[in-house]
Amino acid sequence: MSALVSVLSTGLSSFSNPSQIGPMYPGVGVEWLLVLILFLAWVIFHVVQFRGETKEFKEIAEEVRKRGVDNMMNAAKTKDDPFA
């Protein structure tokens, strides 16, 4: 049991001088790396999302050009449409 306590111990016997106590969490100094990784993931997500939505919009616009607006509006009204 004492071996486990020594492994889990912070090595501090008193918190009387907080200025001498450094950070007490894992990964000290890599916060900037985590922020950078998350920022890059955020940017990549938005680029992928934008490209997918642009592709979908172009497909819909091409379909409207082929059929015409009136035909597209009539095609949307089906027997399953509760508002038709």
Mean pLDDT of 6-15: 65
- How many whole angstroms separate alpha carbon 43 and alpha carbon 52? 14
Six-digit token pair at 67? 């059929």
Averaged pLDDT score across all residues of the chain: 79
The model carries a pTM of: 0.56
| 40-57 per-position pLDDT tens digit | 999 999 999 999 999 999
Find the helix packing angle between 69-76 and 31-67, rounded to 10°: 100
State what percent of residues in the chain have pLDDT above 70: 70
At 58, the pLDDT band (50, 70, 90 cuts) reads very high
